[in-house]
Structures are given as C-alpha cells and as structure tokens.
Amino acid sequence: MNIISYDDLVQAEFINKFAGRQLLVSVYFIDGLLIDTGPSKMNEKLIPLFNDWKINEVILTHHHEDHTGTARWIQDNKKVPIYIHETGVNSCNNRMKLPFYRKMFWGERAPFEAQPLGNKFKTPNYTWDIIHSPGHSHDHIVLFNREKKWLFGGDLYVQSRPRSLFAFESIPEIISSLRLILTYDFETYICSHAGIIPNGRKVIKDKLAYLEKIQQAVLSMHENGKSNRKIRKELFPKSHPMNYFSLFENSPIHIVNSILK
Ligand SMILES: [Zn+2]
C-alpha cells in the first residue's frame, strides 16, 4: 500500500495481484469526503485507514466491487451517509452476482444502503459538481472540485488506448462522457486506477481522439459490409490473457458491438 499526499488530498493506493495479473486501485480522502471504498480484498489495510480518517460522508463513483467492497463495513462501523448516482442505488441494496474471476480478483461485495446523489455537493471547504458520465457503467459519476479545478474521474479513463472492453461498457457512451467532462475547467485528473494525472486534460483529449478514430473505422468497415467478427480481427488481431480469464466478459468484440449497437 502507498499513501500519497497531494496538497490536502490523501490517496491510498493498493496493488492487487492475482493469477499473473496486476492492477492498481486507489481510494481518495479530502475534506472529510471519502471517494470510493476500495475492494473487500483490501479490508485489512483499508479498515485501519478508515478508523484513522475523520470521514463525514462517502461518495461512490459507481457500484462496481472494487469501488464499493468495504461500503458495508463503513455503514456498520462509521455511521456516515454513502451516496451513489440514483441509478446505482438498487445495485447497492442487493447482493452483487459477480462472475467467478471478479470474485477472486477483488473479493465479494456485501449489500449496503446507499442514498441518491444530487447534481451538487458541499464539504466544509469545497463545492463539488456531480456529473453523470455513463459508459463504463450506467451509474458512473465523476466529481469536479470547483475550487481546486480537480476532476475525480472514477473509471472513465483508466487507460489511454483500450484494445478490449467489458460487455457492460459502451464506446459511444464513453465518448459522450469524455466530451461532457471536457466542458469543465479541470487540469488535474484523478483516476481510481491510474492515480493522479497533473496534465489530465491532455490525457483525456488524447483518449477521446483515439476512441473517435476507432469509432470511425468501425463504422466505415461496417458500411463496407464487414461483419463484427471480421472488423474485430482486422482492428484488434491480438487477444489478451484477460479475455480468456474473464471468459470473454472482457473482449475486443465488445468495442465493435457497442459501436454498432
Ligand atoms: Zn468499474
């Protein structure tokens, strides 16, 4: 675990290793606000931090298990409100039916009670815009800190040039959400997996340009009569171990399918 201080922001970063795969995941704490709770697999390291931090409330960027895994512990032990976008409230109340590989990778996610977010949120020193930004998940939000001009992006970014996608993700929705966040005046982008990115605006613009190019390519190949499988083979010929590991819940075919839907 790395604890990184960035001005008055604290980032707790964890390295998750499983079956030859490695992924970083972070939770952020600023001005009494905890942004995401981390996966239950990291409980032993997270709980001492949560006991140490004076948490007034929790905002979840979305319902996925690596962001909400310790929400139940917080609810039972800290008695603070936990907020999520209104379309995510139900998934928090219910047990999450996770594919086996995700259960093994991040751990289970116990149900908990979440409250719906509005468009704006106040902490003692800051005003936050809550921006609905679907594409990675239907309930995904990002948080814009007006005073700092920082954008907490959850899983909207994660990487610049994805060559594979989850079945529940959508390239056209991610494109719209990236365009939407670029209408906010941020420079620093703070990602749940890639960490703090000081030149975040440029990084987000680059990702948007990459996805727009992929979208154009897919659409024109489709117009030329090529099948989804053929398009996938031409644009993304290589498979990633993650594709097999996830039993194709993660696959390049979902990039093509989501564009042609
Ligand atoms: Zn996610």
pLDDT for 55 beyond 80: yes
- Residues 84-96 have pLDDT tens digits of 999 999 999 998 8
pLDDT for 164 beyond 80: yes
61 CA to centre of ligand 1 in angstroms: 8
133 CA to centre of ligand 1 in angstroms: 12
- Residues 74-128 have pLDDT tens digits of 999 999 999 999 999 999 999 888 999 899 989 999 999 999 999 999 999 999 9
- Domains of the chain, start order: 2-211 (3.60.15.10)
The phi, psi pair for 118, rounded to 5°, reads -90, -165
150 CA to centre of ligand 1 in angstroms: 20
226 CA to centre of ligand 1 in angstroms: 31
116 CA to centre of ligand 1 in angstroms: 18
Radius of gyration of the chain (CA): 18
pLDDT for 1 beyond 80: yes
225 CA to centre of ligand 1 in angstroms: 34
User: How far is it, in rounded angstroms, from Cα 133 to Cα 140?
Assistant: 5
Q: Give just the sign of the alpha carbon dihedral 142, 143, 149, 153.
A: negative
pLDDT above 90 as % of the chain: 91
Residues near ligand 1 ion, CB 5 Å cutoff: 64, 155
pLDDT for 146 beyond 80: yes
- Residues 174-222 have pLDDT tens digits of 999 999 999 999 999 999 999 999 999 999 999 999 999 999 999 999 9
pLDDT above 70 as % of the chain: 100
59 CA to centre of ligand 1 in angstroms: 14
